[in-house]
């Protein structure tokens, strides 16, 4: 897809585009900023990116904003959050892998934010912004007392320190979960400010997605209008497993997914071509070899229910975002509020096991938790069931791309991204295919706020930002396309320069596979490996990767021994 900016009026004929004119005499005043992060949502799971899931509110933001179709994250939840908050590669921020601390000899793998990694909240506070964080944090150590805390039988603290909790990293207010995966009905590690709390203290009808939306609406009502703008970081856990949602919304989708993953994938692919977000010359990736054709798969009702529950979780999040936007409009501040929506990585193909250290064994009332995808008599959705949707539906969520979360192929790192800012986006309803990365959000927010990145903060040196502002894209311009971008997670590696991408998947037994080379302008679904025919390009790009890895504290596997574990085995 060569054009950098495509007008999407025809592709979005179902949406109502609002009239718009960009002020010519002066840039807009400093905007409010709302950064909304979904969790483990696939590239094609929004209606405006090809989905059959009902997401009218995000589709509305896309129709009157800007879709970025080549925006990248890291391959995993916590590294993405580290990069998002600091404008650095995750290893520079101290979270090259997960939340375990691998000791001082591995500075890229300490499992919490580094002191010399300034957060966007810390910088925006210096510029006079009010700052609020809501939802999943996942960039600080969490310590488990076996499963006793999860099972409500232990009050032992789940933290060793609070140095990297939100209030200590620049946020004025925080409500959410410190740990990364949780029940939607009674989440572990729930915190209000610096104080651990429990779901029954918050609501008798607790559903995490809705509670986060309620808090976001309340914060907007508290903060606006005001003399100073605000920054809100809203990190939903939808649609990360466990698959849990209210029955009426699940029921709405069950018949829809009896069509099966093969037809869903093909329909999404065709809609993506019609919408203009992919090139018709990019082939749809083959069905995951682990997945049977739908017509040869048993128990269609159980399989459809898994995806129906996932879709319900996405729809509930979308409804919440609609409430947030309507609140901005009611307060008269929607036009000069920059909203960014994206997911933290691609779709998740993981299964769930009862032995997972962060999966509970029982509910607060003592009922056992039914875990896993093996028992087809157990249907996803209720509070006492923990299931995931696995490779079949993750394959559909990531249409048309290859692989999933954890990997550095496009299915792991490409994210559906929407920017909405009526006062600052020159061509509402447009589609940008310019390449951008999660490290670019911090510089973008700094640019629109006028904030300056300091060399020191609280007597600590501060690393310079790695990304670049996306403001020129918002204004209808272009950015240089030849900067190198890099990825590494648990041995999965990649580097992109212009249209060229070099990528390697770490396999079992542990060993990196040979480099693969793709021309993404011609083959973004990574179906034609050109490494053998372009050895000089492979050598050139692998040298760039090696230099970056050395500079950014990236280590080969195996990593040094863990000095401070995140979880303990079940007892």
> Which residues belong to the active site?
77, 138
Distance CA 390, CA 375 (A): 14
Helix (H), strand (E) at residue 339? strand 337-343
Q: How far is CA 388 from CA 6, 163, 241, 246, 549, in A?
A: 36, 33, 5, 16, 33
- CA Rg value for the chain: 22
Q: Is the peptide bond before 157 cis (omega within 30 degrees of 0)?
A: no
Distance CA 297, CA 365 (A): 36
For residues 223 and 164, the answer to whether their CB atoms sit within 8 Å is no
Q: How far is CA 44 from CA 48, 173, 304, 394, 416, in A?
A: 8, 33, 18, 10, 7
For residues 490 and 97, the answer to whether their CB atoms sit within 8 Å is yes
Count the Cβ atoms, other than its own, within 10 Å of residue 402.
22
Q: Which tokens sit at 257? A: 């997914």
Q: Classify residue 179 by burial, with Cβ atoms within 10 Å: 0-12, 13-18, 19+.
A: buried
Q: What phi and psi values does residue 168 have, to the nearest 5 degrees?
A: -90, -5
Helix (H), strand (E) at residue 63? helix 56-63
Distance CA 491, CA 557 (A): 6
Map tokens 């079949």 to a residue: 392
Q: Which tokens sit at 539? A: 């050598």
Q: Which tokens sit at 89? A: 């590669």
Look at residue 461 and give its three-state secondary structure: strand
For residues 371 and 233, the answer to whether their CB atoms sit within 8 Å is no
Distance CA 285, CA 521 (A): 16
Going 13 to 14 to 16 to 21, the CA torsion angle's sign is: negative
Count the Cβ atoms, other than its own, within 10 Å of residue 532.
10
Map tokens 């003399």 to a residue: 227
Q: What phi and psi values does residue 538 have, to the nearest 5 degrees?
A: -60, -45
Map tokens 């502002």 to a residue: 469
The end-to-end CA distance of the chain, in Å, is 53
Q: Classify residue 519 by burial, with Cβ atoms within 10 Å: 0-12, 13-18, 19+.
A: middle
Q: Please enumerate in sequence order all residues whose Cβ is within 8 A of that of 198, keeping only pairs 6 or more positions apart, or say none.
A: 186, 190
Q: Classify residue 482 by burial, with Cβ atoms within 10 Å: 0-12, 13-18, 19+.
A: exposed
Distance CA 507, CA 173 (A): 42
């Amino acid at each position: 897809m060569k054009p950098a900016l495509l007008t999407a009026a025809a592709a979005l004929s179902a949406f109502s585009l609002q009239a718009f004119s960009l002020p010519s005499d002066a840039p807009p005043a400093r905007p409010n900023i709302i950064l909304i992060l979904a969790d483990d949502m696939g590239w094609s799971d929004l209606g405006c990116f090809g989905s059959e899931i009902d997401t009218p509110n995000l589709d509305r933001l896309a129709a009157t904003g800007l879709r970025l179709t080549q925006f990248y994250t890291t391959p995993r939840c916590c590294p993405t959050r580290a990069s998002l908050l600091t404008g650095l590669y995750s290893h520079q921020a101290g979270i090259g892998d997960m939340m375990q601390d691998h000791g001082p000899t591995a500075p890229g793998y300490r499992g919490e934010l580094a002191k010399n990694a300034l957060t966007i909240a810390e910088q925006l506070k210096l510029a006079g912004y009010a700052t609020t964080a809501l939802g999943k944090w996942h960039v600080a150590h969490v310590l488990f007392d076996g499963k006793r805390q999860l099972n409500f039988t232990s009050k032992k603290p789940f933290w060793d320190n609070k140095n990297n909790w939100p209030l200590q990293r620049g946020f004025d207010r925080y409500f959410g979960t410190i740990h990364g995966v949780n029940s939607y009905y009674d989440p572990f590690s729930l915190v209000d400010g610096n104080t651990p709390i429990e779901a029954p203290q918050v609501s008798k009808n607790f559903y995490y997605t809705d509670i986060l939306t309620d808090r976001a609406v309340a914060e907007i009502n508290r903060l606006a209008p005001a003399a100073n703008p605000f920054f809100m970081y809203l990190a939903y856990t939808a649609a990360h497993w466990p698959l849990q949602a209210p029955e009426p919304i699940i029921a709405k989708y069950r018949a829809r997914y009896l069509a099966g993953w093969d037809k869903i994938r093909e329909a999404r692919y065709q809609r993506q071509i019609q919408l203009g977000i992919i090139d018709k010359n990019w082939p749809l990736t083959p069905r995951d070899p682990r997945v049977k054709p739908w017509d040869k798969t048993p128990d269609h009702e159980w399989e459809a229910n898994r995806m129906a529950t996932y879709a319900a979780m996405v729809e509930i999040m979308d409804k919440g975002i609609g409430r947030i936007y309507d609140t901005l409009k009611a307060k008269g501040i929607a036009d000069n509020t920059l909203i960014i929506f994206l997911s933290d990585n691609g779709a998740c193909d993981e299964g769930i096991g009862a032995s997972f250290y962060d999966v509970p064994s029982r509910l607060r009332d003592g009922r056992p938790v039914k875990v896993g995808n093996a028992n087809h008599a157990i249907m996803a959705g209720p509070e006492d069931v923990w299931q995931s949707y696995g490779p079949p539906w993750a394959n559909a969520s990531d249409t048309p791309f290859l692989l999933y979360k954890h990997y550095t192929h496009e299915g792991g790192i490409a994210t559906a991204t929407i920017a909405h800012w009526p006062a600052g986006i020159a061509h509402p309803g447009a589609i940008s295919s310019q390449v951008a990365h999660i490290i670019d959000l911090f510089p973008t927010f700094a640019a629109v706020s006028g904030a300056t990145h300091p060399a020191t903060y609280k007597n600590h040196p501060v690393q310079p930002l790695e990304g670049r502002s996306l403001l020129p894209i918002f204004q209808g311009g272009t950015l240089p396309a030849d900067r190198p971008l890099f990825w590494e997670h648990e041995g999965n590696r990649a580097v992109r320069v212009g249209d060229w991408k070099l990528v390697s998947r770490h396999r079992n037994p542990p060993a990196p596979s040979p480099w693969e080379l793709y021309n993404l302008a011609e083959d973004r679904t990574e179906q034609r490996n050109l490494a053998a025919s372009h050895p000089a390009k492979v050598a050139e790009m692998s040298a760039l990767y090696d230099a970056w890895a050395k500079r950014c504290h990236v280590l080969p596997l195996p990593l040094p021994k863990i000095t401070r574990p995140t979880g303990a085995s079940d007892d």
